[in-house]
Structure 1
Amino acid sequence: MENMFGKITTLDKVMDLFHDGMTLMFGGFGGVGTPPDLIDGILEKGIRNLTLIGNDTGFPHIGIGKIVSNERAIKVIASHIGSNPIAGKLMHEGKMEVEFSPQGILAERIRAGGVGLPGILSDIGIDNEIVTKNKQKFTLKGKDYLIESALTADISIVYGKKADEYGNLIYDKSARNTNPLVAMAGEVTIAEVEEIVPLGMLNPEEIITPGVFVDYVIPTKGVNWKWAWE
């Protein structure tokens, strides 16, 4: 069947989009829901000096943690890094900057970026110097808030259960986590998926990320999308 929208492609072809010094946003929670082949492709290409935006830094050898552990990131914006001791080590040695954002606020900053808002107001962590570092305050109706800037990225990478030709995505249970928000906030969004089906084969009520947010779809290892049509 024809790849009518031109979105279905291969890992090798999308790797041309990645470059040193870029901002990369990733879906996933502790590695679950982070696209493994895209992570490995970035490592194999030798991409460096990345700014990473996502929920956490995974584990040393799982998810985005592989990129962190190989010292390919110069900055991380995340809710925590505790599951990856290498991330903490790099932060304390001054080799990687870490901007902490409370998990809900981080998700909302990503969502704001995805819908075109410049930022949000929040009082979460307003008394915590780790959270307030380098952030402006705003007073509204006598109450102080932090101005939390929206987050976007050069490329967003997400991991889905199924996609169709247009890039409509369905996620697998908890692997959904931050992926729908991340998919909205990239200048380019690449989805790595376990199964690719023809247009019209997904139940519209089950689609979580509309294909309008997705630029490219690649099959994860073990999936031959040419056979997936049958």
Structure 2
Amino acid sequence: MKTICNSFEDAIKDIKDGATLMVGGFGLVGIPENLIKALAASGVKDLTVVSNNCGVDDWGLGLLLRNKQIKKMVGSYVGENKEFERQVLAGELEVELIPQGTLAERIRAGGAGIPAFYTPAAVGTPLAEGREVRSFDGKEYLLEYGMTADFSLVRAAKGDKMGNLIYNKTARNFNPMIATAGKVTIAEVEELFETGELEPDLIHTPSIYVQKLVKGEQEKRIERLTVSQ
């Protein structure tokens, strides 16, 4: 049995100023929106956040950004957030941009206990300046390091009381790898089942990676609505 929290505020109470967080999701898909809202209300600050992107101006990680609770953002895409742009240009926010595949692999490697790896991504670009590059079979590769965090926040469609998780469709984006890379992983689940009720073959994140669970409904906002005429 894992810790089943009674509220989102209780779930994030151990996250203190200066913590490093990994947050699942891609755009607004699969983000732990209620955990993010609880963090925004908590006032915790000076956070280093690792996520694919920083939400939009009024939702997702954009809420923390608006409150100036994020000291450093590590991600691969920032195009939907005007406040992000403003803070970067004003020198109020430190940013580390990483190619998306490299970001995913750095998180996966950290969760797997792999300290470093080589990738061809970014070789020959400004991102590789001053960093180690080696040649394998006549091709150059850049050294990258595995990444971990103090806390990982993920969202799943289903979870059981042991902490096994199942993600819904494209919500299975960065969530599974982020779940492995936090010292403490907090899972926001839409449905919570008794142990043994979930089909073992369908589990995406095994319970060993999850320390806390909290159940709640999500708004599931759409980042950009596109309709056909």
Structure 2: how far apart are the matches of 1:6 and 1:213?
Answer: 11
**Do structure 1's residue 161 and structure 2's residue 157 form an aligned pair?**
yes
Structure 1: how far apart are the matches of 2:99 and 2:160?
Answer: 34
For 1:56-87, what per-residue CA distance to the aligned partner results, in whole angstroms no more than 9, with x for missing partners?
A: 11111121121122221111110111111211
**Do structure 1's residue 215 and structure 2's residue 211 form an aligned pair?**
yes
Match of 1:117 in 2: 114
- Map 1:29-108; keep pairs closer than 5 Å: 29-108=26-105
Moved over 6 A (4+): none
One-letter identity of the residue aligned with 2:92: K
Mapped contact 1:75–1:96 kept (Cα < 8 A) = yes
Structure 1: how far apart are the matches of 2:28 and 2:131?
Answer: 29
**Do structure 1's residue 176 and structure 2's residue 172 form an aligned pair?**
yes
Root-mean-square deviation (CA, aligned residues, Å) is 1.5
> Unaligned stretches of 5+ in structure 1?
223-230
One-letter identity of the residue aligned with 2:209: F
Query: What SS is found at the alignment partner of 2:191?
Result: strand
Count of equivalent residues: 217
Deviation at 1:146, TM superposition (A): 1.3
Mapped contact 1:53–1:76 kept (Cα < 8 A) = yes
Deviation at 1:203, TM superposition (A): 0.8
Structure 1: how far apart are the matches of 2:33 and 2:129?
Answer: 33
One-letter identity of the residue aligned with 1:66: L
Mapped contact 2:15–2:44 kept (Cα < 8 A) = yes
Deviation at 1:16, TM superposition (A): 2.1
Query: What SS is found at the alignment partner of 1:112?
Result: helix
One-letter identity of the residue aligned with 2:44: I
Deviation at 1:141, TM superposition (A): 4.7
**Do structure 1's residue 20 and structure 2's residue 17 form an aligned pair?**
yes
Deviation at 1:128, TM superposition (A): 1.9
Mapped contact 1:76–1:96 kept (Cα < 8 A) = yes
Structure 1: how far apart are the matches of 2:129 and 2:147?
Answer: 16
Structure 2: how far apart are the matches of 1:137 and 1:112?
Answer: 19
* TM-score, length-scaled by structure 2: 0.90
Query: What SS is found at the alignment partner of 1:17?
Result: coil
Mapped contact 1:31–1:64 kept (Cα < 8 A) = no
> Unaligned stretches of 5+ in structure 2?
219-229
Deviation at 1:199, TM superposition (A): 0.8
Query: What SS is found at the alignment partner of 1:99?
Result: strand
* TM-score, length-scaled by structure 1: 0.89
